[in-house]
């Protein structure tokens, strides 16, 4: 099934996402870089929406565009938004070699075989029946319950660690260092 209007919208949003990601790395000002990253995330959410994954789209916006990027802007505001100076280093040519490698891999994956959808117990009819939010919830809290809980404990440990590092002075060699 090839719907021209639909494919055009997908292509436009995908192209905008790519342009925005270029903006992230090419912009000198950190505020604009962060804004480009936000627009990139919004584009990704729109792509999810176009593929009928409205729950993932909403979560993408709430978590990444809404929460994570606000903290980025926060840090930029607190540290002062100075423009980056251009410096030449060995990382740049190394990065340029990655581009053909990545695109070559993509091309290989495209030419190897026709793409196949992943077969699972969540068929299109099932998701249309219960809704994508319920499908994600069912999968997360039944089959992947233990990894889910482990991940939450990991995040909790990280939060406690951050509070310990920030609030209490670290002991170096048995001495309190301020």
For binding to another protein (CB under 8 A), which residues are involved?
Answer: 31, 38, 54-55, 58-59, 61-62, 65-67, 70, 73-74, 76-78, 81, 131-133
Nearer of residues 103 and 148 to another protein, judged by Cβ: 148
Q: Which two tokens stand for residue 81?
A: 């938004």
Radius of gyration of the chain (CA): 22
Question: DSSP secondary-structure letter at 155?
Answer: H
Q: Which two tokens stand for residue 115?
A: 């793409």
Nearest distance from C-beta of residue 127 to another protein, angstroms: 11
Nearer of residues 102 and 130 to another protein, judged by Cβ: 130
Contact in structure between 13 and 46 (CB atoms under 8 Å): yes
Nearest distance from C-beta of residue 35 to another protein, angstroms: 8
Q: Which two tokens stand for residue 132?
A: 């994508």
Nearest distance from C-beta of residue 77 to another protein, angstroms: 6
Cα 54 → chain centroid: 16
Nearer of residues 74 and 126 to another protein, judged by Cβ: 74
């Amino acid at each position: 099934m090839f719907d021209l209007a639909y494919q055009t919208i997908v292509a436009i949003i995908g192209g905008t996402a790519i342009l925005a990601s270029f903006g992230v790395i090419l912009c000198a000002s950190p505020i604009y870089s962060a804004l480009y990253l936000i627009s990139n995330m919004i584009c990704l959410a729109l792509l999810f929406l176009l593929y009928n994954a409205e729950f993932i789209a909403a979560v993408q916006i709430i978590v990444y565009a809404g929460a994570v990027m606000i903290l980025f802007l926060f840090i930029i505001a607190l540290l002062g938004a100075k423009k980056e100076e251009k410096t030449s280093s060995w990382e740049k040519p190394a990065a340029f070699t990655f581009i053909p490698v990545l695109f070559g891999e993509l091309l290989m994956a495209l030419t190897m075989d026709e793409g196949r959808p992943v077969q699972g117990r969540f068929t299109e009819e099932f998701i249309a029946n219960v809704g994508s939010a319920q499908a994600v919830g069912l999968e997360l809290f039944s089959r992947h319950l233990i990894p889910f809980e482990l991940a939450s404990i990991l995040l909790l440990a990280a939060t406690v660690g951050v509070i310990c590092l920030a609030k209490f002075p670290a002991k170096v060699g048995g001495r309190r260092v301020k």
